[in-house]
Amino acid sequence: MKKSKIKYSKWFSRFLAVTMLITLVGMQSHAENIPPYFKELITTPKISDESVTWTQFAPGNAGYSEFVFTHPTDPDVVFNFPDMFNSYRSTDRGESFHLVNGDDDDGRNLNHITRVYDLDFSRQNENFGMAASRAGLWITYDKGASWEGHPMNDYTKEGSFGILNQWGSSCLGAIAVDPKDDNIWYLGSGVFWDVKGNHRNHVKKHGKNPKNPGKLWKSTDQGTTWTLLHSTGIHPKAEFGKIYIHPEDSSMIFIVTTYGLYKSIDAGANFTKIESIESGNGEDYDLVRDMSFYYDKTTQQYTIYIINQVRYEGDNNGSLIAKGGIYKSTDLGDSWTSITGDLAMDIEALQQSVLKTSASNYVKNWYYFSLRKYLNFSISDQQARTQYPKLPTNILQNFNRIVVDPTNPDRIFVAHNAKHDASFFVGDVWMTEDGGDTWIVATRTGKGWERDDDFWTKRNPDQPTNVNVGYHHVGDMHYPEIYTTQGARDLDISIDGDIYVMYRTFVKSNTQGKSWEQIDSYGTPAGNWVGRGGSNVPGRNIITDTRDPELVYFVSGENRLWKKTQDGDSIYPGAAAVKYLQGAAESPGTLAISPDNINELYTIPFRQLHRGEFMKSVDGGESWETISTPVPNLPYNGIYVESLIINPNDTDTMYFCAPDVIVNGPAGHPFKGDNKGIYKTTDRGYTWKRVNHGLPYGESVNDLEFDPKDSRILYAGVTSGRNLSIKNASFESKFLDWTLTGNQDDMNQAIIGKRDTQNAAIIIGKGVGFEQKITGLQPNTPYFLSACVKADAGETGQLMVKGLDGTVLGETACAHSEYLSEGVSFTTRADETTVTIGGYKTEGTGRVFYDRFILRTKGGLYKTTDSGANWNVVASFPEEVIQVNQINIDPHTNRIYVAGGERYEEASRGGIWVSDDDGETWGKIFHMPKVVNTIVSPLDPNRIMTFVAVSDVRPLNVNSGIYLSEDGGKSWIKINKGLGLSSKVMDMAFDLKNPDIIWSTTSSGGFYKGVIDR
């Protein structure tokens, strides 16, 4: 953030310009053994080096986004806030986008601008604005180029998602500035616009999943301070969607909430619900989904336009009727006139029209699914078809967005999101040019428009039936549909009439809705794609092959597979272009290229269609076939496959691993049944068996690597296991479930106090402690217990594990004056399934603080010398490492690189370890709590890249992202410039042709090209 209050030390931007000595690893259990430069890196935010710049080139939005805004006074400025947490701005009406996240924002705890629900800008100073978001309140002084968080965004709970200090929650839903005085702002709470998670239905008329409701603030000093307004008359459970202040009368305010439309005539002191929209009264009536205004400066006529929340009721004849619709008021809400016109649909007639050209029950199928969704899935599909056998002939869709063209008040656009709301498909954005008498579908995609021409022109002779939405890379998925099922997720209009609509793609019309162009990507003459800088593609693995230095594959979640092409320069000099391989599965797992044939590829999709299937392509990824299903009966979110590798000396033999704990990616669902670990095939993937003998319980393997000298030797990186149950592990319920030990008195006792703002157990004096029995463990299994511990100066506490017979299984002393994650390894004995954990103190009169106990199985580095038949722990590898994330063996030097660490532990247990003698001895070249992977350039073994993830230990790692060494790991620079959220990196690669080109992927922005400019 450009206006952040954080002070960066310039000299440290190249913080390791001095030569590092490789530190031999002993028992590094405490942070003071970490070299000083890494200590500072862990605790102090540092700016990325200027010598490397990343440029995003991933095509499209291609994910979920429902937050699109135009600047209220500058039509060139457009914002897009997708769900993968990057945030984008355009200053050329969508021709190109740039990130508004800071280069070194790490994404922890939503400490950056993201998921914006509403924003507004001063009418006196177009550069000054504020945004209400799921991440709190954000302020800009440069028209949205950069943002800083409001001080009230400070978190009160370590590691908690969305828990803020004075807002009550991070979820803020509406904001507006007084058009006449930018000192005055109003701010409302909630997630009114979270259609995907908080849509309305028959059972939950005010939202399925409200968050932080009932709060309205006012500021009279440009947002410096905020006053929570009490007893306003607004429903206490209301979430706020829009706030409008009359442009000529600042005392008059209109607010859309989940409990209706409210009006104030005394500058927000009191509000009254407008109950003149419907004949019925009560909290379930007069509900409003959206609101728009038109102010005629000449006549001073102020017109309000609303969507009265649509509700569906049975018609006593086996079908449905709809109530609600589009209304306007010309008397400031006292009375309303319906402008719904002919907006209703004859679904029965549409179904019959579709059946003339297709045997598909397309219409009927989505109708009953949408109906069940509106009924909160309280009945089955068969029950819905039985109770409502007739398709409706005059039904409204559940519209939730409305805008009025500022250049023509008779031109109105409404939209609905049938993909995620409780609405019916077909016709995502509708428009009228006669003030609501007649309506046409404005956005048209799918084969049905030409096929059903008779239906549409009979409905409205002025309805065009051409496809008018510009083609996009996902068009091959949606254009062949009868009608698109993507849903219009947001809608906005600029002050001069450009309309912006967010589908799965971002489209724009500068022709008053007659045609729409996609503004996500540029298409090359050869049909390939270059992104415009606003991607929401979840990037994953990068695959290269030394047999073809130009070959680069980019794997993506939900967006299939991509291949680098050579025609990016046709868009702009140096641009990277990619080909969309639409024949691939929606969400491929990692990719493997056969050593026999560079066009022979293998993958295992990790979710959606084909999840868990072993798939093969023989044409470079253009088409795929399923060979086998190694892990059957997977849930929708499937299996997160890592390290699909092929034996270079026997290409019929392959391995992959399926971890239970995801190191870097979607968390997914816990595995059900006994199906984790390492899988092996010896017949090119037709049959598989698990080869887990010797692995620790949990069998959570994240990485596999062949020894380049002997393919019978493989290394496995084993993660720590899922956190096991410790009751009241953070002492939120005081000492409930814990037993106090020793002779407790006024001088020597265990009490509950505070660590920052959280509870902590505090041992005072000596001879006392606390403990808890933990059951359900596995015999003969390595475990790791950790806790956040801090001691007064000169005091020492103990963290311990013991058996039921009192035998100490593991113990460590804790004497740090700052909170650190202390840990102890232990192994259960034969038949031992219960242990006792706890803390105690034997000496002194001061205090030792304990908090956040965590227990899990212990991972590490494992090795097989017999092709996976047996695995053994690498005994020489440092014992304090409890999770190994990745192994990389440089085939040129045979140096072994091991990346390790996890989010709950400090830097002595994480980093990069290296061995130059086949694992006999190890040195450490990088110290950070969680290092995900390490790669070495095939062109220069001295060039190394690594990715550091965020961690949840104290002190927090504040310098996540990508690091580069050009001297074999002796010195490093951080290289996040242009990445956006540095914590979202998924993979990295060196270009095999140009040593100054590097590649990366992120889960928030797709694919990036990096240029090293020394």
* Averaged pLDDT in 10-residue chunks for the chain of 1014 residues: 31 32 34 76 89 94 82 98 91 96 71 91 98 93 95 57 58 96 97 92 93 95 96 97 97 98 98 95 96 93 97 94 97 98 96 85 88 94 95 96 97 95 92 98 92 94 94 70 86 97 92 96 95 93 97 93 97 96 90 97 90 95 96 69 94 94 71 82 97 95 97 97 94 95 95 84 97 97 95 96 96 90 94 97 96 96 98 96 97 96 87 97 95 96 95 71 96 94 92 97 94 91
CB 958 within 8 A of CB 948: no
Sheet holding 440-441, edge to edge: 401-404, 412-415, 429-432, 440-441
What pLDDT score does 129 carry? 98
pTM of the predicted model as reported, rounded to 2 decimal places: 0.92
What span, in angstroms and rounded, lies between the C-alpha atoms of 93 and 70?
9
Tokens of 774: 């933990």
What pLDDT score does 106 carry? 67
* Ramachandran bin of 651, using left for φ above 0, alpha for ψ from -120 to 50, beta for the remaining angles: alpha
CB 311 within 8 A of CB 422: no
What Å distances lie between residue 809 and 476, 800, 832, CA to CA?
60, 8, 11
DSSP 345: B
What pLDDT score does 32 carry? 45
Length of the chain: 1014
What span, in angstroms and rounded, lies between the C-alpha atoms of 51 and 54?
10
Pairing of strands 148-149, 172-178: unpaired
CB 862 within 8 A of CB 716: yes
Q: Backbone phi, then psi, for 924, in 5-degree steps? A: -115, 130
Give 596: exposed, middle or buried? Use CB within 10 Å, 0-12, 13-18, 19+: exposed
Query: In 3D, which of 687, 680, 668 has the Cα closest to residue 704?
Result: 680
What span, in angstroms and rounded, lies between the C-alpha atoms of 671 and 631?
11
Sheet holding 260-264, edge to edge: 240-245, 253-257, 260-264, 272-273
3-state helix, strand, coil in the chain (%, to 5): 10, 35, 55
What pLDDT score does 632 carry? 72
What span, in angstroms and rounded, lies between the C-alpha atoms of 948 and 985?
9
What span, in angstroms and rounded, lies between the C-alpha atoms of 376 and 362?
21
Tokens of 800: 């311990």
Q: Backbone phi, then psi, for 383, in 5-degree steps? A: -65, -40
What span, in angstroms and rounded, lies between the C-alpha atoms of 201 and 18?
62
User: Does a cis peptide bond (omega within 30 degrees of 0) precede residue 955?
Assistant: yes
What span, in angstroms and rounded, lies between the C-alpha atoms of 12 and 16?
8
H helical segments located in 86-226: 195-198
Sheet holding 68-70, edge to edge: 68-70, 78-80, 88-90, 98-99
Query: In 3D, which of 661, 738, 668 has the Cα closest to residue 702?
Result: 661
What pLDDT score does 361 carry? 79
Query: In 3D, which of 302, 493, 495 has the Cα closest to residue 413?
Result: 493
CA angle 628, 634, 638 (to 5 degrees): 95
What Å distances lie between residue 633 and 409, 616, 655, 670, CA to CA?
55, 20, 20, 13
What pLDDT score does 620 carry? 97
Tokens of 990: 């060196």
